Structure 1
Amino acid sequence: MNTQTYQSDMNTQTYQRDMNTQTYQRDKNTQTYSRNMNTQTYPRDMNTQTYPRDINTQTYQSDMNTQIYQRDMNTQTYPRDMNTPTYQRDMNTQTYQSDMTRQTYQSDMTRQTYQSDMKTQTYQRDINTQTYPRDMNTQTYQRDKNTQT
């Protein structure tokens, strides 16, 4: 529940998350998101944006794919134009929706539910680490110690 790494062949995304730090890298626009409790820095290839955030709420808009990032301590919502994913997360629950892959991920400390329209996925996850390698058509996720539907 402290560290997550997501790799996607389409966008080459790497999402690393603990309670204080997130790093997001995308091939399309090469974004790096680094956050602690008070500051997030988002350098992007297209327009190299840097956003400071307060402790409760931030809203970011980005020209390249019209991104709106709203975050408080318990919830994040990221609608994105490229593949219209929506990421909602509190301390125990995550919901990921992506228009391009039509995926829905729900996760709490003990249970995850994954749905995918056009891919074959296998997920691996333990309480502290998730690693999601993805290519265009196949995803392999291994998951340890949780219940998965």
Structure 2
Amino acid sequence: MKPAFNLIPLLTLLLPALAQAADPAPSPATDLAGSLGQMLFGLVVVIALLIACLWAIKRLSQPRNAAGVLKVLGATAVGPRERVVLVETGPKVLVLGVAPGSVRTLHVMEASDFPSEAATNETGAAANGDFSGWFRKALERRRHGS
């Protein structure tokens, strides 16, 4: 056998070890900086995706009717899945019964016949669920009553 053939297996075993010795291991500071940079980049990407999703939700949830033909005046639950809803459409106010799978007109009245919010507040009833106003009036009644 020739001596050159004996050196080839020896060189194939020694070359990876020599290459590893030539490249020094990265220092802990550069490894930490790289990991920190990668983490911050991922955080920025996640926050950017969150902001984009919130913007899309806001954009898609805006009402489609630009003219504002319908206006919901109020709603109240009359059962676990049933509601009575007041809807103003032009000069009319509709009283609608809403249940899963059906919407029925219960009553139709003129908007002028419907009590305004200012008149309702003068009488003491809270038109829009104003708890602070109701609580203030209840305290006044309690003070004057006793």
Q: With structure 2 as the length reference, what TM-score do the two structures score?
A: 0.27
Report which of the two structures shows the higher radius of gyration computed on alpha carbons: 2
Relative CO higher for 1 or 2, CA cutoff 8 Å, sep ≥ 6? 1
The structure that is helix-richer by fraction is: 2
The structure that is strand-richer by fraction is: 1
